[in-house]
Amino acid sequence: MSLSTSVRKGLPIVKTDGEEWLLSSQPGLSVVIPIYNEVENLPHLIHAIALSLQDNQIDSYEIVCVDDGSSDGSAELLKQLARERSDLRAVILRRNYGQTAAMSAGFHHARGKVIVTLDGDLQNDPKDIPLLLSKLDDGYDLVSGWRKERQDAKVTRLLPSRIANWLIGKVTGVKLHDYGCSLKAYRSELVADLNLYGELHRFLPALAFIEGARITEIPVSHYPRRYGRSKYGLDRTFRVLMDLITIAFIKTFLTRPMHVFGFFGLFSTLAGIAIGAYLTFLKYGLQEGIRDRPLLIFAVVLILAGVQLFCFGLLAEMLMRTYHEAQGRPIYRVRELLGSDSGKTVS
């Protein structure tokens, strides 16, 4: 059975006796939408999503809207709509935590086999959701939207976005045209492995790539904002750069932090020792004074920095082991397990 077919018909639950049951309360598809001050867009968006899914015979779905501390009445409207609609679930956060936290809350409360995310500003087209689901059938774990004809301000949105997309691709090795598009489809088992902090929602494809996911993108529609105003500006560029450094470190050194701290620590220590040896030769070999030489202070600083970097490396190693062992998370991810469960060799 293809993935898109299982989304339409619901999810089979395998019992311990081997018998399969269909759990009607568990939808095949969850549409997760972070909401922040989108009261004018909400009714149109939810109606458009439901209409698109029903037109494509996708009946086993839920819409999970996460209100991220809105102050314009979005939370109250969501509560009302959730009482009126059986396909809508509202998650109301206590305050504004940011889009990453809202996305994480949506992932946590989503129950579907497939999870689709999109923005609440009506700039994404819900009619593209079936296209993403069909692409998942080709064996991908994450399908990302590409706003090929993006309808945003060129200076404040398009230019910084293109620079960020190029830089993220270079650093992470994941080549996508549009990292910032919220319209994405995920397999739920992939989302279960993603822990989001800070502003890492922009780097979900990179985080998924670290987990071994198969990723692709397809062009999707994009429209100008009809109601409200954008919550993004040029100030996000700095946050993207800081998060990119975090992603680069996680991608390369998450399970071996001593390799980076130890390398720089060793280099710094050896450089300090070499300079110290040179100064010792000047002092005792050539009988020259070294007390007023800047190299003396530089050598001491290098040796102390090297020792500190080694200590940082050891602490990072301990934290890494605690992170994996406390959660029971292995340092690898298994895609498939083939062969006999008994472990016996078949002659």
**Is the pLDDT score of 234 beyond 60?**
no
152, 278: one domain: no
212, 313: one domain: no
What is the extent of the structural domain holding 108? Answer: 3-253
Q: How large is the average pLDDT for residues 124-144?
A: 93
| Inter-residue contact 33 to 3 (CB < 8 Å) | no
In a domain, 339, yes or no: no
Band of pLDDT at residue 344, cut at 50, 70 and 90: very low
225, 272: one domain: no
| Inter-residue contact 101 to 68 (CB < 8 Å) | yes
Q: How large is the average pLDDT for residues 240-258?
A: 75
Of 222, 253, 284, the one marking the end of a domain is 253
Q: How large is the average pLDDT for residues 30-34?
A: 95
Maximum distance among all Cα pairs of the chain, rounded to whole angstroms? 91
Strands 61-67 and 29-35: parallel
From CA 270, how far away is CA 86, in angstroms rounded?
67
Residue 339 CA: distances (Å) to CA of 14, 16, 333: 20, 20, 18
In a domain, 343, yes or no: no
306, 280: one domain: yes
279, 139: one domain: no
314, 241: one domain: no
Among 81-90, 96-105, 134-143, 332-341, which is the least confidently predicted range? Answer: 332-341
* Continuous H helices in the chain: 3-9, 42-55, 74-84, 99-109, 129-136, 159-172, 188-191, 204-210, 236-253, 258-280, 294-327
Strands of 142-147's sheet, edge to edge? 88-92, 61-67, 29-35, 114-117, 184-187, 142-147, 215-220
pLDDT of residue 287: 82
What is the pLDDT of the chain when averaged over all its residues?
82
pTM recorded for the entire structure: 0.73
pLDDT of residue 201: 81
Among 185-194, 228-237, 290-299, which is the least confidently predicted range? Answer: 228-237
**Is the pLDDT score of 51 beyond 90?**
yes
Q: How large is the average pLDDT for residues 299-318?
A: 90
In a domain, 333, yes or no: no
Please, what is the angle between helix 74-84 and helix 42-55, to 10°?
40
In a domain, 99, yes or no: yes
| Inter-residue contact 80 to 49 (CB < 8 Å) | no
pLDDT of residue 125: 92
Which one-letter DSSP state was computed for residue 29?
Answer: E
- Total domains present in the chain: 2
Distance of CA 321 to the CA centre of its chain: 22
59, 130: one domain: yes
Look at 340 and 129; give whichever has higher pLDDT: 129
Reading phi first (left if > 0) and then psi (alpha if -120 to 50, else beta), residue 279 is in: alpha
pLDDT of residue 170: 79
276, 234: one domain: no
Band of pLDDT at residue 42, cut at 50, 70 and 90: very high
68, 145: one domain: yes
In a domain, 82, yes or no: yes
Neighbour-count burial of 10, counting CB atoms closer than 10 A to its CB (0-12 exposed, 13-18 middle, 19+ buried) = buried
17, 150: one domain: yes
Find the CATH number of the domain harbouring 168.
Answer: 3.90.550.10
**pLDDT tens readout for residues 136-161:** 989 899 999 988 877 666 655 666 67
In a domain, 347, yes or no: no
Residue of 77, 71, 123, 102 lying closest to 227 (CA atoms): 123
213, 77: one domain: yes
Q: How large is the average pLDDT for residues 33-43?
A: 92
47, 151: one domain: yes
From CA 333, how far away is CA 251, in angstroms rounded?
14
From CA 299, how far away is CA 276, in angstroms rounded?
6
3-state secondary structure of 165: helix
- Non-local (6+) Cβ contacts of 279 within 8 A are 290, 293, 295, 296, 299
**pLDDT tens readout for residues 55-75:** 998 888 999 999 999 999 999
Look at 5 and 190; give whichever has higher pLDDT: 190
